[in-house]
A and B are shown apart, each in its own frame.
Chain A
Amino acid sequence: MGVKQLGIVGQSVKRRDGIGHVTGQTQYVDDVFYTGMLWLKMVRSPISRGIIHGIDTSKAEAFPGVVTVVTAKDVPNNWYTILCLIGVEPNDEPVLAHEEVMYFGEPICAIVAETEAIAAEAAGLVKLDIEELPPVLDMEFAISPDAPAIKKWGNNTFMYDGYNHRKLRFGDFEKAIQQADHVIEGDYSLSPIEHAPIETHCCVVKPEPDGRLTVHSNTQALYFTMDNTAIILQVPSQRLHMIGGTVGGGFGGKVDVITEPITCIAAMKTGRPVKWRWTREEEMRKSSTRAGVKMHYTDGVMKDGRIIARKVRSLEDSGAYHRHSPYGVQKHMANLPGPYTIPNVWVDAYCVYTNRQPSSAMRGFGVTEATFAVECQMERIARTIGMDSWEIRLINAYRNGQMRPVRKVVEDATLIETIQAAAELIGYELPAHLKAMSSDDYAGNGGHHG
């Protein structure tokens, strides 16, 4: 393959942090303790949707060992959205809920106490007066005219440049589907899943004598977290000193900027170090998940196996707030056609809001769901028209120089080569004409739309 041999690059040197890991010497955030450190526990919504009429913290505040209670009025900039840093609008999520609750487990107020046990006990003393409303849970219902608008802008989808979905339009799907020998449809869906890193969210904040805050965080993105936290605290970013870089597993679950702002506020309010670590139950039931996704594929296929038209409608369940989903759906849109040369493509991808814990980033999100659907659909096509599973992929695989539906010319394609290598790995003998295919053979699938 002509890969230039290098020196240390390409060598399986041992992990720099490996000995620390296997001897238990690596310091994770929960291993940070300060003298006089306080502990934080969150009071959360017990229902999926409702209007807050009252939050009575008096009993919790009077509980021995409780130092303070943090509520929405302590948050300088309570309404935020983390992707404001890349231009996503509007701010749609409160750091602490005060008008309404949008999902079971939504943070309402934080108890800060001398011990974790006291904080947990006092959390149970906060009296919530919430008028329950029926939750919107099903995505098809959420986008129907019958659904109550749970988002302030009056509907239940993210608005992309004035549209309630992201569009991909390439060629002429409607015309091409009429010319297809077969029209093959498929439904694909995924349930929300949890990142489940073995280390739960944890943040420790120490106020420094010069007025700065030292923030120990297991975020996957230190500057991103710092800048978002500064926006919420309405302080210059320089006032924050983020320390991290060692994480006990993330998988996308630790980029929500969800522990740092509140822990900072608690530390500023008390002048003492504060630790907030999540329980596994919070991780499972209150942290963000991978989105539930529903996709419908309609493909026009010729007798010789060429896919000439593909239409996809996808609904992605963002839960109650944006988090990373508007971005994820956009990435999803670009990947829904799959790594195949299809001259006529139509994609509508919706980012839908429901009264569920927000979904957010997770390993491959947007792409994982698309490739699951695409590859099952490819198999369905093969079975329907009676073609070999390897051949259907090889003849449609994108080649270098061809045009993808997003109108980027294919480069670095090696789909064909990995298919051939996988066949070889399991000892499956591909026919000679399939073995001879190459990603560099521009005309190999009759694709001329480069």
Chain B
Amino acid sequence: MAKHYGRGIAAVNYPTGMNLGGDPTQALIFCQPTGGFSVKLASTDLGQGLKTVIAQIAAEALGVPFDSVIVDTGDTDSAPHCMGTFASRATHRVGNAVIMAANEARKALLDVAAEEMEAAPEDLVLENGEIYVKGAPERKTNVFNVALAAHFKYGKTISGRGIYLKQKSSLDPETGACDPDSTEAHATTVAEVEVDDETGEIKVLRLASAYEVGRQINPEMVKGQIVSGAVMGMSHALMETVFPYYPALDHHTYSFGEYIIPTALDIPEIESVVLEYPSSNGPYGVKGVGEMTANSPIPAIVNAIYDAVGVWVTDLPVTPEKVLRALEEKSLETH
């Protein structure tokens, strides 16, 4: 009777965007008279931080301070279509639509600035809300002045429309040939576990992962996804089922009393590194990271259990009961 240490690895890919594509998102941007920019979206923040990363992308693309960008999302009367938040698509799709809208608004802004400054628009630089003539930084103005002039002197709009659509791929029903993704993010997780061969209990000691997510818009929030996914993956591997005797319906769960998910007491050591290899079609090279973080921990843990006690338990969740049954079967085989 002993506790056995094991280590397992798993390397995974994850597609960005809806399978086969065909999932558009639009954005509108307009400039207020004093230089604030409102980004109008019908997209949803589930807690992953979309409202924040979109403000970052808009500020970057417009060339204005982060605080001057307002993200107004979640109202179908005031914003155009978004397919929704799922399939690790939001930052990729919404971000691309916002960059397209920002580019149009930025061009409109610089056209007015050029008129006001008596310069060619292509000679103007817009950085952090300041506008100056390339090579002549003393010839300068700012977004505040240009926005006022556009509204009250020239009668010009400063706004932009954006959409991103990966056109829907066909799928050959005979071969399955299709274009299933926009890009692929990747991850490798190393799980370390301790398995008690007397009780069948599994303790996950450590989940260490390397992620490659294109580009991080907000590294702390990427880390937030990685850590949360590690815990959800561990939970999926070891704890969760609606039907403990699936496919039978007996003992189905009604509450958090029977449906077990981790608490603050169940958290292993979680470490990660993030690599950035920008994708060709994501906003600033983004790849979707939302869903994938709960994936690699699952097989890494199952592989670590095999490493620890030499049994394959590949029917999730890996409960102590299943581990003990597998150990018993193994001991019967060897005797």
Contact = CB atoms under 8 A, between A and B. Distances in A.
A143 to B, nearest CB: 13
Interface in B235-288: 236, 240-244, 246-249, 252-256, 259, 261, 271-273, 275-280, 284-285, 287
A354 to B, nearest CB: 7
Contacts, number: 370
Interface of B: 8-15, 19-20, 22, 41-47, 49, 51-52, 55-57, 59-60, 66, 71, 73-77, 81-86, 128, 171, 173-181, 183-184, 186-190, 208-212, 214-221, 232, 236, 240-244, 246-249, 252-256, 259, 261, 271-273, 275-280, 284-285, 287, 290-292, 294-296, 298-300, 302-303, 306, 312, 314-317
B225 to A, nearest CB: 11
A367 B291 contact: yes
A425 B273 contact: yes
Nearest to A252: B86
A380 B220 CA distance: 35
A418 B232 CA distance: 21
A242 interface: yes
B327 to A, nearest CB: 17
Given A220-B46, A333-B176, A417 B299 contact: no
Contact of B76 (A222, A376, A419): A222
Given A249-B46, A422-B209, A356 B66 contact: no
Interface residues of A, number: 119
A132 to B, nearest CB: 14
Given A194-B253, A375-B10, A418-B275, 8 more contacts: A9-B57, A13-B52, A245-B42, A250-B47, A331-B180, A371-B295, A406-B176, A426-B208
Contacts of A397: 11
Interface in A223-262: 223-224, 226, 240-252, 254-255
Contacts of A168: 175-176
Given A137-B247, A361-B86, A372-B302, A405 B176 contact: yes
Contacts of B298: 368, 371-372
A8 B285 contact: no
Nearest to A104: B249
B87 to A, nearest CB: 8
Interface stretch (A91-99, A109-117, A158-166): A158-166
Contact of A224 (B14, B84, B271): B84
B277 A1 contact: yes
B228 to A, nearest CB: 10
The residue among A246, A292, A379, A420 with the most chain B CB atoms within 10 A of its own CB is A379
Given A406-B178, A408-B179, A421-B210, A292 B246 contact: yes
Given A170-B175, A222-B84, A415 B232 contact: no
A408 B55 contact: no
A17 B188 CA distance: 31
A192 B242 contact: yes
A191 B244 CA distance: 8
B9 A422 contact: yes
B242 A379 contact: no
Contacts of A367: 14-15, 291-292, 295
Contact of A425 (B10, B11, B174, B208): B208
A13 B312 CA distance: 44
B132 to A, nearest CB: 16
A23 interface: no
B220 to A, nearest CB: 4
Contacts of B15: 331, 334-335, 367
Contact of A379 (B177, B252, B295, B299): B299
Contacts of B71: 16
Given A222-B76, A243-B74, A418-B188, A192 B278 contact: no
A229 to B, nearest CB: 11
A371 B312 contact: no
A13 B66 contact: yes
B316 A414 contact: no
7 contacts: A17-B45, A166-B173, A222-B76, A289-B242, A376-B302, A376-B314, A413-B184
| Interface-central residue, A1, A223, A224, A366, by most chain B CB under 10 Å | A223
B242 A285 contact: yes
Nearest to B20: A330
B277 A193 contact: no
B302 A412 contact: no
Contact of B186 (A135, A252, A413): A413
Interface of A: 1, 3, 6-17, 48, 86, 104, 135, 137-139, 160-163, 166-170, 186-194, 196, 219-224, 226, 240-252, 254-255, 280-281, 284-285, 289, 292, 317, 327, 330-331, 333-335, 338-339, 347, 354, 356, 361, 363-364, 366-368, 371-376, 378-380, 383, 389-390, 393, 397, 405-408, 411-415, 417-422, 424-426, 428
A134 B117 CA distance: 80
A434 to B, nearest CB: 13
Contacts of A15: 49, 51-52, 221
A168 B172 CA distance: 9
A441 to B, nearest CB: 15
A273 to B, nearest CB: 18
A412 B247 contact: no
Contact of B294 (A135, A223, A241, A364): A364
Contacts of A375: 10-12, 296, 299-300, 303
A285 B298 CA distance: 24
Contact of A418 (B19, B210, B221): B210
A272 to B, nearest CB: 22
Listed from nearest, the 4 A-B pairs whose CB atoms lie closest are: A245-B74, A221-B84, A375-B299, A168-B176
A46 to B, nearest CB: 13
A422 B236 contact: no
A366 B292 CA distance: 11
A187 B316 CA distance: 11
A383 B306 contact: yes
Contacts of B217: 9-10
Nearest to A138: B247
A166 B174 CA distance: 9
Nearest to A334: B180
Contacts of B190: 422, 425-426, 428
Contacts of A13: 52, 56, 66, 218
Nearest to A411: B280
B186 A371 contact: no
Given A168-B176, A192-B243, A412 B183 contact: yes
A308 to B, nearest CB: 19
B287 A222 contact: no
Contact of B292 (A163, A364, A419): A364
Nearest to A371: B12
Contacts of A219: 44, 84
B210 A167 contact: no
